[in-house]
Amino acid sequence: MSTSATEREPRAAESAPDRGRTPRRGWSDLPSPLRHLLFAALALAAVTGLLLVTGDLTALRMAAVGYTMLAVAGLQLLTGGSGQVSLGHGAFMMIGAYTMALLVLNLPMLPLAVNLVLVVAVAVVAGIAVGAATARLHGPYLAGATLILAVGLPGLTHRYHEVFGGSNGLTVHTAGAPPFLQGLVSDSEWKALVVWTAVVLALAVLATISTGRLGRRMRTVRDDETAAAMSGIPVGGTKVTAFVIASAAGGLAGGLQVYVLGTATPSMFTLALSLTLLAALVLGGIGSMWGALWAALAVVYLEIWLSDAVRAFDLSKDVENNLPIVLFGVLLILVLRFQPLGLHGILQRLRALLRRAR
Query: Which residues in 139-178 contact another protein (CB under 8 A)?
Result: 139-141, 143-145, 147-149, 151-156, 158-159, 161, 166-169, 171-178
Q: By CB under 8 A, what part of segment 292-311 binds another protein?
A: 304, 307
Q: Does 185 bind another protein (CB under 8 A)?
A: yes
Burial of 52 (0-12, 13-18, 19+ CB in 10 A): exposed
Q: Does 214 bind another protein (CB under 8 A)?
A: no
CB of 207 to another protein, least distance (A): 21
> Per-residue contact track with another protein, 13 to 52, x per CB under 8 A?
--------------------------------x--x---x
C-alpha–C-alpha distance, residues 352 and 358, integer Å: 10
Compare residues 27 and 320 and give the one whose CB is closer to another protein: 320
C-alpha–C-alpha distance, residues 220 and 223, integer Å: 5
Beta bridge partners of 263: 171
Amino acid at 30: L
CB of 313 to another protein, least distance (A): 13
Q: Does 6 bind another protein (CB under 8 A)?
A: no
Binding span for another protein by CB under 8 A among 25-33, 70-78, 105-113, 208-216: 105-113
Reduced to 3 states (helix: H, G, I; strand: E, B; else coil), residue 126 is: helix
Among 193, 253, 292, 295, the residue binding another protein under the rule CB under 8 A is: 193
Q: Does 268 bind another protein (CB under 8 A)?
A: yes
User: Looking only at Cα atoms, what is the longest distance across the chain?
Assistant: 64
Binding span for another protein by CB under 8 A among 8-16, 26-34, 136-144, 350-358: 136-144
Q: Does 259 bind another protein (CB under 8 A)?
A: yes
Asked if 204 and 37 touch (Cβ cutoff 8 Å), the reply is yes
End-to-end Cα spacing for the chain: 34
C-alpha–C-alpha distance, residues 88 and 147, integer Å: 5
Q: Which helix (H) or strand (E) holds 54?
A: none
Q: By CB under 8 A, what part of segment 311-330 binds another protein?
A: 316-319, 321-326, 328-330
C-alpha–C-alpha distance, residues 241 and 69, integer Å: 20
Q: By CB under 8 A, what part of segment 325-354 binds another protein?
A: 325-326, 328-333, 336-337, 340
Cα distances (angstroms) measured from residue 241 to each of 55, 195, 237, 247: 40, 25, 6, 10
Compare residues 112 and 245 and give the one whose CB is closer to another protein: 112
Q: Does 199 bind another protein (CB under 8 A)?
A: no
CB of 222 to another protein, least distance (A): 11
Reduced to 3 states (helix: H, G, I; strand: E, B; else coil), residue 212 is: coil
